[in-house]
Structure formats: C-alpha cells, structure tokens
Structure 1
Amino acid sequence: MRFDYSEFSGDQGFLSPDELFAPPNLMNFILQYGEQAMDAMANLEDEEEQAFIQQLIDAGLLEESTDEDGNRRLKMSPRLLRGLQHRALLEVFAEMKQGAKEGHSTREPGRTSERSDGTRPYRFGDPIGELDLPGSLQNAARRQVHRAVEEAREAGVEVPRGLRLPIGITPEDFQLHNTEGSADCATVMLIDLSGSMMRYGRFLQAKRVALGMSELIRGRFPLDTLQFVGFSSLAETLHERDLPLVMPKPVSIRDSQVRLRIPLEQAYANQEKIPLHFTNLQLGLRQARQILSRSGAANKQIFIVTDGQPTAHVTTHPATREDMLYLVYPPSDESSELTLREALRCQQRGIRIASFALMEDYWGMDWVGFIEKLTRLTRGTAFYCTSEDLASTVVESYLTGKKSKKFIH
C-alpha cells in the first residue's frame, strides 16, 4: 500500500468513507459474483473501464499480477477487504432495531467489564481498582463508632460524640462496585454452500454477515475468536481473506432421485469430478467441533446458516474403517440422524449451537422439523428469518446472547 504525505492547508478536508474505501457498487459486484468478478475486471477492454481499474490499483484497493500463462490477474488488497468488512458492519447496524445491547455479558456479577448498579463486599482476589472508596470509608467509620459506643457502655462512662481520627480501615470494610462479568468466546460460523443458497440472494447476505462479524469482533471483542467453515457435499475451512470471493457450489446433477457413495478421501482429492451442491451439515459440525476443541475459550458456540435439511452424510465402513461419503436426494432419515448425532457430540463438549434457518420458501417448510429436532436435542437456539433479516439477526444474537427460539417477520 502506498502513502503520500503533504502539508495540510485546511482546504483538502477529510476523506469520506466512500473516498477512503472502494465504491459501494464495486463492493456489491465482488460480493455477488466472487472470483468471476475479479476475472471480469482483469479482462475489461473499454478504455474508461481500464482507467477505472488502474485507479483502484493505484489507490491500493486491487493488486495486479500475472499467472503462469502470462494472463493478467487481479486480487483484493487487505485495504479492500477491510473496506468490505467495514461497510458490511455499518449496513448490519443500520438494520438492527434500536435497544439491542452493545455487548455480551454474563448474567452473574463478575470481576471484569463495565460497572453496573450496586456494590458488594470485598472477597479475596477481587481487583482493588473496583473499590468503592466512599462506601468503604463509611463502613469503617460506622464500625469505629459502633465499637466506641460498646466500649463506653462496658466501662460505664459517657458515650463519646463525633468520630475519632484517624479512621482505621480493614479488608472487612472494603466495598466494591458491581460489574457485568464478561467472558471470552470462540465461535465457528457454518455457512451453507449448497446450490440452493444462490436463490433469493441468500449467499450474498451470508457473506455480508460473515464480513460484518469479523469487523465487529476485531473492534469490540478482541478476546473473542471467529472462524468460518463452509459446508456443501464436503466441508472446508474458509479464510477471512477469501470470504468475499466464496460462492455456492453450482448444481451439477438434476435427477429426481440421487444416491451416490464415494470414499471421503477420494472425494476431497477429486472435487471437480463429484457433485458438490449437496448439504453435508454433519461434516461441517464435525470440522467445527475439531476447531473448537483446540480453543481454550471459556465459551464455545457454533452458528449455523442454512436453507435446508441435510442431503449428505458420512459413515465409517465397518470392515475397512474407511469413511464413506453419501450424497442422497430426496433427503433421507439417515442423513438427518447422523447429523443430529454429531450435533449432540458438540453439545456434550459444552458447545452451544444456534441455527439460523432461511425461510423464503414457505412451500418447502417441511424441513423446519429437522431444525426443531436439532434445537431440542442440543438445547440450543433457532432463529427463522429471511435472507434480508439474516445479518441483523445473527449480530443481535451474538451481542445479546439470546437463548430462545425466534421468528423474524
């Protein structure tokens, strides 16, 4: 990234967000078309369009290179990624209802975070920085006066008036401000990459919330962690820098009935040869559980963003102990049952699960029963919303820690 410095004359003014970051239309174009958008911009022929791309390169928003065949390639710069995240977060908070809490705190008074109403007695190990000094001095003075009165009565002399100085203060007199106890949280967001996520702009909204959450946690909750896993026929870890370019898997087979069995290792090695547009939530949950098992956070949770019930699962062959991938349509009870078993494993390891079910297809709401089972089994949370409400729903859930089922109309 290049920086230019000059003397400030007072006439330049400060850059607006639109000048500081990439134009909104460019951001939306990249989010909507992913890698295809980058390829299209690299091959523009119109002189004005080429000049615009060069301006973006000079501004440090795009980076230019050539591939092995000498073709021009463009990729996003870190500055453009931060711009996408920043704009996504602003759009999310613009859509949120007023009154949402701006922090996730525990219900019990704690030893960190912001002060709340009331005080409590000091306990060994509490931070002295939260000491309520006027209240502590009042306790010490009240104790000293009470002791002086008791001593005068025992000696049969007149009770002294006023307070004797200096005031002797002990740890029993200490009084501390209550605080809202906060805790670190490790979150894995599971994003559905199946073919149906292309409809109604679902995946575009899923990427918006992922980018917005990244910016929110980095700025507001530095102790928290957020990682992403995309699940389709398989599951893959999504790096933050690649989120704007990720796209749902295209539908490659349209038979009314499908039942395919493939060794899982072979499926990962030959992804271009298998249909990838199925929904393997079981594999996504397994990968999320493995990621969270390596975290030392006090709280762990999985956010699931999906628009349908599982149509894929993995089983272990009893003889060879080889993992086998099954792609099944229409959805089978076996796929749902194995997915629920994996969700239960997550819950047994102390991982909270929140599901965000995208519900534009009212004619196809029979799959809601699967979400209901998952929620009851794991004692988790379910939110039912349209793709337009997804971003604000996810962020509000993260901030407030809501734990009840909710329908977003």
Structure 2
Amino acid sequence: MIGFEFSQFISDESKSKFEQLLDIFMQLLPNTNGDVQETLEWMNQLDKYFNLTNDNYGMGDFIQDLKDKGYLKENELSGEMSLTAKSKQSIRQRSLEEVFNKLKKSKQGEHSTKKTGSGDEINSDIRNYQFGDKLEQIDFTESIRSAQIRHGAESLSLHEDDLQIRETSFKAQTSTVLMIDISHSMILYGEDRITPAKKVAMALSELITTKYPKDTLDIVVFGNDAWTVDINDLPYLQVGPYHTNTVAGLELAMDILRRRKNANKKIFMITDGKPTCLKINGRYYKNAFGLDGKITNRCISLAAQCKKLKIDITTFMIASDPYLQAFVTEFTEMNNGKAYFATLDNLGSFIFKDFESGKRKTVY
C-alpha cells in the first residue's frame, strides 16, 4: 500500500503552536484508525523532517497539553492513551468543515419544505385568524396593532377579526442510514478509500446532530456481514479481509428504517466494488469473479422492496468499470433513486449536496 508523502509544511502563524499541531493531529487520526500512539509517532517523524516544534514548545509539551485540555486520557496502569469524547467531536467538526470547504459557494437550502402550517420555524408571513388555528400561532403584537387601527387607541378592544397569525414553516424530518463498504477492495491497488468514507460519515453525523437534531442517522458497515457502528466509533473504523455483502447491508438498513417514525427515509451507500457475497442458511456464497446473477438479482429485488417502502437509495460508486456502472444503473432504476460515480475528492460534496437538496423537497 502506498503511504502518505509530505513535501512541505506551512504553518498558520495566526494560531498558537498548540493549535497548529492540533490541526495536524486531527488530520492524521482518521488515517491511523484513531490509534493515538501511531498518530503521535507519525507526528514525531514529521517533526524531525519539518521542525514542527522548537526549543520553547516541544512535542512533549504538546502531548501534555492534549491531556490537560481534555483531548486525551491516559490509563494509569498501562500508560496507554486514548481519545476522549471531546476529541471525537472535534474530529467530526473538522471533517464537516473540510467537506464544506470543498463545496462551491452557493446558497444552501434550509431544512424545510415548501409547505406552511403547523411547524417549528417562524417565518415572516402573517395572515388573519382562521378557525382551527392554534393559540401559540397568534402574533399578539400584530393583533394589538390591528385592533388599534380598527378601533382606535382610546377604545381599544380585541376581537376575532383583529387576530393575526404568524405562519410557521414545516421542517421535514429525515431518517438516514449511511452504508459504508469495508471490504478489502477499499484499500486495494494502493488507494485508501476508507478514510474519505469515514470523514464523510463523521461530517454527515456532525451536520445532522448539530443542524438537524430531530433527524436520525445510523451508520451501517458491510463486508461479509453487516452491522451498525456508533458515531463515536467512526475514527476507529477499519477495512477487513471481507467480501462485499451488499444484500446484508441493505437488509439491515431497511430493518432500521422500518422502525423509524419519520416519513422521509433514505439510504446513502458508499461502495467501490461489486456485490460478491451472500449468506444463505448460515453459509457464505461468494463469487468475486464478475457479477454473479444470484447475488445481483437479490440486490435489485431489495431495491424494489425499498421503493415500495418509500425508502430512497442513493449509491455513491467509487469505481469506473462500465459493467459495474451498468449494474448500478439497473439497481438505481429499480428503486427510482440516484447514483453518483464519484471520485474520492468529490465524494463529500456529492453526498452533502444530495442530502441538502432532499430537504427542499415538498413532502406530503
């Protein structure tokens, strides 16, 4: 596997030495699968080549500050250091900033539909009271102003005709499952595909938990089998010696979304290869040589089931093989979903633009 080549380090002089080193530390952690010891070893190597520290502030000072400021905790018995919740949240936030910095400057739509009515975000529209409107929708300032205009300030009285209603915009809630392929092909041929996928997952989780707290996000990883991972465990996510059991991933995602009460449900699937595995009666059926109809037909059948359940599937295929694109096209048409043939550089942009655009659709 090809490693990472560092040619030059240009520091941001507006930041303190700790902040400069923290930026590097947070950038390296996803690449080391959250291994603190390995990350610090890399930083020591970088320090030798690029003189990241000086006589006034050394790497030992940085490590101590990481502990003092709550980024690392040390096991008193073994001396082993691990990430704290603060570090994990910081990684997600930085991943979010990194993804959005790559997006072209454009007016991003808010998390709303075109419908008005009983919602949770006040807008500027005012109308007369109608039977059935809720008390909390009444704008008393505008209502009193209306009464003054109608009856005069000296004989002020408030009637039903004076009541003014402040419209609220209905904010659509969405349940999302992000499926990440962790089969061995995600690190084959000297290309690290899993780290960008992890960064996108961390950024998406940070966006949803901070901007859309009423939404839900579940992370499903799939290799020979499929299972969920906690958002806090994303930095530690690793590729295994697995085949690609897309069926298991889809079945688990569907099971999760069936239990969600939100009307809007979607699956984002990041994969770089073809489905190569099924589990039948407790045994694995595998075929890594070309597309196996027994496997692909099951995938397409699940796409149709998702359509019936009104679950949209958006596939992000990190591959350019024509026969794989043909399969993804068929899979997408069966679900009436979307497919992007993304590169590692634009994967995050594609996912975030698709996620945000989905928030602007009118939901009935």
How much has 1:283 moved relative to structure 2?
0.4
Task: Provide Cα deviations, 1:377-403, integer angstroms capped at 9, x if missing partner.
Answer: 112122232111111221222222179
- Alignment partner, residue 396 of structure 1: 353
More displaced stretch, 90-99 vs 119-128:
119-128
> How many Å apart are 1:334 and its aligned residue?
1.5
Taking the TM superposition and a 5 Å limit, the aligned residue runs for 1:327-406 are 327-330=286-289, 331-359=291-319, 362=320, 364-401=321-358
Normalising by structure 1, we get a TM-score of 0.69
Instruction: Give distance in 1, aligned partners of 2:156 and 2:43.
Output: 83
1:297 aligns with 2:253: no
Q: Which residue of 1 aligns with 2:82?
A: 75
CA RMSD in angstroms comes to 3.7
Q: Match for 2:72: what amino acid? A: L
Shift of residue 44, structure 1, vs aligned partner: 10
Code of the aligned partner of 1:32: N
Contact 1:136 1:173 (8 Å CA) reproduced: yes
User: Which ranges in structure 1 are unaligned for 5 or more consecutive residues?
Assistant: 1-14, 146-161, 250-274, 316-321, 405-409
Q: 2:215 and 2:31 mapped to 1: Cα distance?
A: 28
Deviation digits for residues 122-155 of structure 1 (CA, Å, limit 9, x no counterpart): 555434444466987899999x99xxxxxxxxxx
Q: Which residue of 1 aligns with 2:114?
A: 107
Partner residue, 1:57: 67
**Structure 1 counterpart of 2:288, which letter?**
Y
Task: Point out the structure with max Rg over C-alpha.
Answer: 1
Shift of 1:193: 0.8
Partner-residue secondary structure (3-state), 2:345: helix
Shift of 1:229: 0.7
Q: Could you give the per-residue CA deviations for residues 230-272 of structure 1, whole angstroms, max 9, x where no partner exists?
A: 11121121111110111222xxxxxxxxxxxxxxxxxxxxxxx
Instruction: Give, in angstroms, the shift of residue 60 of structure 1.
Output: 2.1
The superposition leaves residues 283-311 of structure 1 with CA deviations (integer Å, 9 ceiling, x where unpaired) of: 01111112222222232221111122211
**Aligned residue type for 1:327:** K
Q: Percent identity?
A: 28
2:33 is aligned with what amino acid? G
Judged with a 3 Å threshold, the aligned counterparts in structure 2 of structure 1 residues 365 and 117 are, in CA distance, closer, same or farther, namely farther
Distance, in Å, in 2 between the alignment partners of 1:44 and 1:222 is 35
Aligned to 2:237: 246
Instruction: Determine the structure 2 residue equivalent to 1:308.
Output: 273
User: In 2, distance between residues paired with 1:33 and 1:336?
Assistant: 34
Tell me how far apart the structure 2 counterparts of residues 43 and 168 of structure 1 sit (CA, whole Å).
72
Distance 1:122-1:400 versus aligned 2 partners, 3 A rule: farther
Q: Deviations over 1:76-97 (max 9, x none)?
A: 1111101101111111221222
Amino acid at match of 2:81: L
2:249 alignment partner AA? G
The residue that corresponds to 1:152 in the other structure is: none
Q: Which residue of structure 2 lines up, in the alignment, with residue 195 of structure 1?
A: 184
Inter-CA distance 122–393: structure 2 relative to 1 (3 Å threshold): farther
By how many angstroms is 1:312 displaced?
Answer: 1.2
Q: Does structure 2 conserve the Cα–Cα contact (< 8 Å) formed by 1:60 and 1:79?
A: yes
Which aligned pairs between 1:90-239 and structure 2 lie closer than 5 A? 90-116=97-123, 118-119=125-126, 122-131=129-138, 169-170=159-160, 176-198=165-187, 200-239=191-230
Equivalent residues in 2 for 1:255-334, closer than 5 Å: 275-276=241-242, 278-315=243-280, 322-330=281-289, 331-334=291-294
> Is 2:29–2:39's contact at 8 Å kept on the other side of the alignment?
no
- Tell me the amino acid that sits aligned with residue 28 of structure 1: Q
2:11 aligned partner:
none
CA distances 1:30-88 after superposition (whole Å, capped 9, x unpaired): 21121555456489999x6566444423332122227xxx7553321111101101111
Task: Return the alpha-carbon distance in structure 2 between the equivalents of residues 88 and 130 of structure 1.
Answer: 39
- Do the aligned residues in 2 keep the contact of 1:102 with 1:400 (CA within 8 Å)? yes
TM-score relative to the length of structure 2: 0.77
Matching residue's letter, 2:133: D
Unmatched 5+ stretches in structure 2: 1-13, 46-57
CA distance in structure 1 between the aligned counterparts of 2:342 and 2:42, rounded to whole angstroms: 39
Seen in structure 2, the aligned counterparts of structure 1 residues 138 and 367 have a Cα distance that, compared at 3 Å, is same
Q: Distance in 1 between matches of 2:162 and 2:342?
A: 52
Q: Distance in 1 between matches of 2:204 and 2:253?
A: 17
